[in-house]
Amino acid sequence: MWFLGWKGESGFSASSTAEQVTQGIDGHGLTAIVTGATSGLGLETTRVFALRGVHVVMAVRSVESGTKVKETILKEIPSAKIDVMELDLCSMASVRKFASDYISSGRPLNILMYVLFDIDELFHNNAGVMATPFQLSQDNIEMQFATNHLSHFLLTNLLLETMKRTVRECKREGRIVILSSEAHRLPYQEGIRFDKINDESVYNSYYAYGQSKLANILHAKELTRRFKEGVEITANALHPGSIITNILRYHGYINAVANMVGKYLLKNVQQGAATQCYVALHPQVKGISGEYFMDSNKATPTHLANDSELAKKLWEFSVSLTNQK
């Protein structure tokens, strides 16, 4: 059980759950895309969004698994509006197809939320990844950077006009929510290794994960800088908290220790999904953009995460890797 219950400025704490931070919020009329929605934080976010009336589009690698999750949620919440669409974040072609299909469907888009995929779905069926052995994505880019940042970057750019149109038509603020991590504090020394992204000889799984999580925060900050005045869309990054999962399964000793102490010191999934649901739905966050959140409160990231020049350089680098004009 998570025992730290000190409340921050928002009135919520590390022990708050996703249901608690969205209590009383009416999400009817909102449409959200949630990646990684078949397990863990993504599944709980989908369930709570549906509970609050949000129309959720589950962006999942396995449509079969997504459909089963949808059916389970519908048993609990018969009024839930949920669609399932295929998206493999390991493949830019899949990202482009998803975006094209979504735009063709004519659906609005109020909330774009990026949640890590379950490690088993990712690495065994091959997708959001943490400290994995060196591997390349389908586009021959280091897996953690490609999956945790580049695919998010590409999908955001492809769907941004849809979000802008939705904001104009419904006159409600659009929100982009990106799951980062406190691991952004431990990237490579230079932050982003632009010239060595695919260099296996200097690859370190933990630093590479930190690099991808740093990229998440820089992405949100640069998006905010690029939003033109009058565009009511915000972009924020967050740390969900330390949660009991099998995400460290490739690091036996650490995973074993985490599982032993986890039930006493780590969050459960309901608590872990709170911050992302808070940032996506709560009226307290209206108009706030380019920030980093933790425990449903604003937090302070590292100096590298606040480096505007690094954010600009990452943007241009990401444009080149995703072959965008």
Rounded Cα gap, residues 143 and 111, in angstroms: 26
CA distances from residue 221 to 277, 283, 306 in whole angstroms, order as listed: 19, 20, 8
CA distances from residue 94 to 43, 74, 97, 151, 191 in whole angstroms, order as listed: 21, 27, 5, 9, 28
Neighbours of 263 (CB within 10 A): 11
Rounded Cα gap, residues 280 and 276, in angstroms: 6
Tokens encoding 31: 């449409």
**Residue matched to tokens 């990452």:** 314
Q: Quick check: 235 and 159 in contact, CB under 8 A? A: no
Q: Quick check: 303 and 221 in contact, CB under 8 A? A: no
Question: For residue 285, which phi and psi values (nearest 5 degrees)?
Answer: -90, -5
CA distances from residue 274 to 15, 141, 238, 324 in whole angstroms, order as listed: 9, 32, 11, 34
- From the candidates 203, 209, 278, 292, give the one annotated as an active-site residue: 203
Catalytic annotation present for 203: yes
Rounded Cα gap, residues 24 and 86, in angstroms: 31
Residues marked as catalytic: 203
